[in-house]
Structures are given as structure tokens and as C-alpha cells.
Amino acid sequence: TRLSSLSTIATRCAPSYFFEQYQKSRMQFVQTVAELASRPQNIETLQNAGVMSLLRPLLLDVVPTIQQTAALALGRLASYNDDLAEAVVKGEILPQLVYSLAEQNRFYKKAAAFVLRAVAKHSPQLAQAVVDCGALDALVVSLEDFDPGVKEAAAWALDYIACHNGELSQAVVDAGAVPLLVLCIQEPELAVKRIAASALNDIAKHSPELAQTVVDAGAIAHLAQMILNPDAKLKRQVFSALSQISKHSVDLAEMVVEAEVFPAVLTSLKDPDEHVRKNATTLIREIAKHTPELSQMIVNAGGVAAVIDYLGDSRGNVRLSGIMMLGYVAAHSENLAMAVIVSKGVPQLAICLAEETEDHIRSATAWALGQIGRHSPEHARAVAMANVLPRLLAFYMDAQSSDDLQAKAKKALKSILQKCTYVPALEPLLHEAPSNILKHVICQFSKVLLHDSKARRLFVTSGGLKKVQEIKAEPGSLLQEYINSINNCFPEEIVRYYSPGYSETLLEQLEKYQPI
């Protein structure tokens, strides 16, 4: 034992022992920091302890594992909030990371790409700082790496850089990332596919030229193939990417349609994952909004029925894209609007109008109903029979609805009322509407009552004539003309009978009367 203790003392005094201790403690420090940084509550304390300046020299450490763990810790810190990310940028760590992206092994590359992504995700200025360090070329080179983890990290970093605005996306495209991303989509690993699809999504969403670049790289065919993949997150990204591509112009939408997405998209409307359904509906909406021919194609494929079922099954914000799709389809022509009506779209939209509480969804529903009902009396009748008009009126009159909702409700009401000849729906409006809506109601009544005797009888018995007499209108205005034309439909005595103050005039006559 004496010998052994002597030997331990000897080893402890030897210089290599101290170096080993130092390395162990560095490793421990950096691993602990990385672990602490993964929990948000610790990051404040870490920041106050000045961890950035401590981690910086460790990035240049001799031992590769320490370098990687230091980079990982930095990445976690930077991803927490943008102050830390700015500290990373100001500490001039980024050029070192960019250099090492080119040189080092795959674990370090992954960690470095993680840091770049964590910095770039917060704001466009930080992303611009990342681009200015020359990170794009290094990231594009790492996209060609064999290891799928490195590809995923690089693609993710490019994704976060490109998502902010058009100039950054253009910079990413100019670095030649798009063909490599399209290659990444064809990789067998799911994670790489997801991230590559998300990156293409973020590049294509800013402008038609960028979308055209993505399409020219042949992305659509591969994205269309991946629709049949069972993974839910991948499908979300794929549908989102296709909808961002097709939203810009008719040609792009036609190219997406030519990739034969159509029957497969409708099956995805029944996917268990909510976001997949929402993105699929968004894709259908973006395609339908461009031309009547595209909408016709969607209607012929049964897309309208699928979307209406989707509206029935879903609740809340996700309904918005489905409602807008129906509105766009109906807006193009009256045949398409009739197709929407025949597919039982109007009761569903009425249910949406009744159930939803958010103003923007309500205004979208009001707009869609207006588009359906404005074409001809049959359309207006179908819309009116769903008991939609009183609700629209209520939204228009409600002081708490937003301006957008009020404007859309008013427009929808006007456009439907100008064609509506369905008397039972017009009656309640007569009693409640304000004067600018009432004008249209009276106009429609005057048109209908001229020809239909049963309607006239109903009008009298339901108290409509009484109400009409009570309306005060300036002589010579349009309203007065309509009132006159209504009064002309009825015999003189009845009109006098219902005019206000008739009982007083009768009593006056009674007083003046001298019995013989």
C-alpha cells in the first residue's frame, strides 16, 4: 500500500495528470452547461454568470468532443431568446463556426449548423448577420454531406434563414441551395425529407419568382409523390409547400394540378392529423381561387363535397380555409355556385356562421354566402331558405362586431337581397332592418307583389303592409317610389285601413257624423 500510495502521489505530481484533470473538468463543465441550457428556467442564471464568454474559447478546444458539446450548448442558449443570439453574433463566434462547418467532422457540423439556425430564427437582422458571415456557402456544401444528420441540420438552418423575408430567400437561392434541397427530399430518412420540404415551403412563399425557381428545380413531382407517405408531419409540410407554390399565379397552380395531386388530396382530407387536413384544404383553396376552369376541375373531382364534410368535422380556426375555398369556387360563375348549393354547402355554411365566435371566420362565412347568393333568384332563394339573412343582419347591426365583419355582412346582405324573391325570408327583415337595407327589401317586395296574389294576401295578413305604411321616407326618394308601387298593388281601402292613425280618422268622422 505504501508503494501504491507512493505511486498515486507520483502520478498526481506528474504533469500529464494535471492535464487530464483539466480536460475532464472542461468536459464536465461543457456537458453540464449543455444540459442546463436545455431547460428554460436555468438560462437566466447562465446568462448572468456570463456563460457566453466562457463557452467561446471552448469552441476552439483541442478535444473534438468538447468543441461539439460547447457548440451544442451555445446553440441551445441562442435559441432561447434573441438577446443571447445577438450576444453570439457580437462575440464573433459565427465566422469560426462557418469555418469549422467546412473543415470538421459530422458531429461538429451538426452542432455548428444548430447554432446558426438558433441564431437565425429570431429576426431578419440576425439572419442577415448569419448570411453576412458567409454561412450560406458552408451550409450549402454541408447539404451535400453523406450523413443525413448533417443534411438535416444544414437544411433546417437554411429554412430558418429563408423564412423571414424575400431578400434572405433570394440569397439562399443564389447560393444554389434549391437543387440540393430537392435532392434532399428524395432521401430515405424522414427527418431530412421533412426539413427539406419545410425549407422549400419557406423559400417559395415570398414571391412568384422564388416559387418559379423552386418549380424549375423539379420540386413539384417529388412533393406530389410524398403526399402518399404515411408520416403526418411530412404531409403537413408537403401540402404547405404545394399551396405556397400554387398561390402565386395561374401557371404555377396549373403545374401543381398537372402533377396529379387531385384525388390523393381529397383522401388526405380524412387524415387523423388536424394540420394535415388544414393544409390540404389550403392547397385546394389556393388552386381554386385562380380561374373558373380550375374550380370546375376541383368540383368535378368531388372536391366540394369533401371540403363540406371537412367543415362539418372540424371546429375553430381550421375551418377558415375551407370556407374561403367555397367562397372562391362560388364567386367564379353561377354554375359553380349552383354546384356548391347542390352539394349541400349552404346549410353547412349556415352552421359555421352560427357556431363560430371568431370575427374573422364569421366575416369569411358572410363573404362566402354573399358570393353564393348573388348570382340569380334561385341562388338567393337557396341561401335565404337556410335562415341566414337574419343572422347576417344581426352581425351588421351589432356594435361589437369588427369593421371587417360589418362591412362584409352588409355587402353580402345587399348582394343577396338584390336577387332574393323568397318572401318568407324577406318578411322578418322588413321589421328589423335599418333604412339602407330596408330600401332593398322594399324593392324586392315591390317586384314580387306585382305578380303574385297569394303573396299579397300573405303580405297583408302577416302585418307587412302595416309596417310598410309606417315607414317614413322622403318624397321623391327611391324608397318612396317603391312604397308607392307596393301601395298600388293593393286596393285603396286596404291601404287606408293600414295607414297609421286610421283609427283616429275614423273616430273624427264619427264625431262629425250627424245621424239623420
Partner 1 sequence: MARLEWLQRQIEGIKEEHVIENREHSAAVRLQSWFRGCQVRARLRLLHRKATIIQKVWRGFRARNQFRQMVKKAYFVMKMNFYNEMAIRIQRRWRGYYVRKYIHNYYALKRYLEGLTIKNEQVRKDLEEFAELQRREMERLAREREGQRKCLQAQRLHFLLSTEQCPGVFNSPYRDFPHEMELRLRSIKPLLAKNAPLRRDSGGSPACSLPPVPSKKPQGPFRDPAEVLQQRYRPLEPTLRVATSITALEEAREELRREEWRSRVIDDIFQPFSNAHKNRKYERTLHGTSSYEQVDYGTKYFREENKEKRQGEKLLFFSLGLSQNHPGARVHSPIHVVQLLGQREQSTVLTCVTRSRGS
User: Rounded to whole angstroms, how far apart are CA atoms 93 and 118?
Assistant: 13
To the nearest whole angstrom, how small is the minimum distance from the Cβ of residue 341 to partner 1?
A: 9
If the CB atoms of residues 312 and 428 are measured against partner 1, the closer one turns out to be 312
To the nearest whole angstrom, how small is the minimum distance from the Cβ of residue 320 to partner 1?
A: 21
The reply to whether 498 sits near partner 1 by the rule CB under 8 A is: no
Among 74, 84, 269, 465, binds partner 1 (CB under 8 A): 269
If the CB atoms of residues 107 and 328 are measured against partner 1, the closer one turns out to be 107
Q: Which helix (H) or strand (E) holds 76?
A: helix 64-80
If the CB atoms of residues 213 and 343 are measured against partner 1, the closer one turns out to be 343
The reply to whether 190 sits near partner 1 by the rule CB under 8 A is: no
The reply to whether 305 sits near partner 1 by the rule CB under 8 A is: yes
The reply to whether 343 sits near partner 1 by the rule CB under 8 A is: yes
The DSSP annotation for 487-512 comes to: HHHS-HHHHHHHSTTHHHHHHHHHHH
User: Rounded to whole angstroms, how far apart are CA atoms 81 and 77?
Assistant: 8
What type of residue is 365?
T
To the nearest whole angstrom, how small is the minimum distance from the Cβ of residue 264 to partner 1?
A: 11
CB contact set of 304 (below 8 Å; sequence gap of 6+): 298, 326, 329, 339, 340, 343, 345
The reply to whether 309 sits near partner 1 by the rule CB under 8 A is: yes
The reply to whether 302 sits near partner 1 by the rule CB under 8 A is: yes
Long-range CB pairs of 123-126 (<8 Å, 24+ gap) are: 123/82, 123/164, 124/164, 124/165, 124/168, 126/82, 126/85, 126/86, 126/89
The reply to whether 266 sits near partner 1 by the rule CB under 8 A is: yes
To the nearest whole angstrom, how small is the minimum distance from the Cβ of residue 94 to partner 1?
A: 24
User: Rounded to whole angstroms, how far apart are CA atoms 240 and 275?
Assistant: 10
The reply to whether 105 sits near partner 1 by the rule CB under 8 A is: yes
The reply to whether 270 sits near partner 1 by the rule CB under 8 A is: yes
Among 261, 339, 372, 416, binds partner 1 (CB under 8 A): 339
User: Rounded to whole angstroms, how far apart are CA atoms 356 and 347?
Assistant: 14
Among 335, 435, 436, 477, binds partner 1 (CB under 8 A): 335
To the nearest whole angstrom, how small is the minimum distance from the Cβ of residue 19 to partner 1?
A: 17
User: Rounded to whole angstroms, how far apart are CA atoms 252 and 184?
Assistant: 22
Taking the CA atoms of 350, 351, 357 and 360 in sequence, report the sign of the dihedral they define: negative
The reply to whether 284 sits near partner 1 by the rule CB under 8 A is: no
How far from chain centre, in Å, is Cα 27? 46
User: Rounded to whole angstroms, how far apart are CA atoms 55 and 314?
Assistant: 48
Contact 446, 480 (CB under 8 A): no
If the CB atoms of residues 12 and 270 are measured against partner 1, the closer one turns out to be 270
To the nearest whole angstrom, how small is the minimum distance from the Cβ of residue 278 to partner 1?
A: 16
If the CB atoms of residues 177 and 325 are measured against partner 1, the closer one turns out to be 325
The reply to whether 299 sits near partner 1 by the rule CB under 8 A is: yes
Per-residue exposure over 132-170, b if at least 16 CB sit within 10 Å of its own CB, e if not:
ebbbbebbbbbbebeebbbbbbbbbbbbbbbbbeeebbb
Contact 256, 204 (CB under 8 A): no
Among 15, 188, 272, 501, binds partner 1 (CB under 8 A): 272
The reply to whether 463 sits near partner 1 by the rule CB under 8 A is: no
If the CB atoms of residues 176 and 263 are measured against partner 1, the closer one turns out to be 263
Tally: H helices and E strands in the chain: 36, 0
The reply to whether 59 sits near partner 1 by the rule CB under 8 A is: no
Measuring CA to CA, how many Å separate 349 from each of 5, 309, 427?
A: 86, 11, 22
How deeply is 67 buried, as exposed, middle or buried, from its count of CB atoms within 10 A (0-12, 13-18, 19+)? buried
To the nearest whole angstrom, how small is the minimum distance from the Cβ of residue 270 to partner 1?
A: 4
- Grid coordinates representing 473 are 321616407
The reply to whether 35 sits near partner 1 by the rule CB under 8 A is: no
The reply to whether 297 sits near partner 1 by the rule CB under 8 A is: no
Among 304, 350, 393, 438, binds partner 1 (CB under 8 A): 304
The reply to whether 281 sits near partner 1 by the rule CB under 8 A is: no
Among 5, 13, 146, 399, binds partner 1 (CB under 8 A): 146
- Grid coordinates representing 169 are 430567400
Q: Quote the DSSP letter at residue 476.
A: T
Q: How many chain residues bind partner 1 (CB under 8 A)? A: 24
The reply to whether 451 sits near partner 1 by the rule CB under 8 A is: no
Region at 491 (left for phi over 0; alpha for psi -120 to 50; beta for the rest): beta
- Grid coordinates representing 307 are 371540403
The reply to whether 28 sits near partner 1 by the rule CB under 8 A is: no
Contact window for partner 1 (CB under 8 A) among 161-169, 250-258, 296-304, 464-472:
296-304
The reply to whether 513 sits near partner 1 by the rule CB under 8 A is: no
- Grid coordinates representing 22 are 483539466
Among 21, 186, 300, 505, binds partner 1 (CB under 8 A): 300
If the CB atoms of residues 269 and 364 are measured against partner 1, the closer one turns out to be 269
If the CB atoms of residues 171 and 305 are measured against partner 1, the closer one turns out to be 305
To the nearest whole angstrom, how small is the minimum distance from the Cβ of residue 296 to partner 1?
A: 10
- Grid coordinates representing 170 are 433570394
Contact window for partner 1 (CB under 8 A) among 206-214, 339-347, 491-499, 504-512:
339-347
The reply to whether 64 sits near partner 1 by the rule CB under 8 A is: yes
The residues that touch partner 1, with contacts defined as CB under 8 A, are 64, 105-107, 146, 266-267, 269-272, 299-302, 304-306, 309, 335, 338-339, 342-343
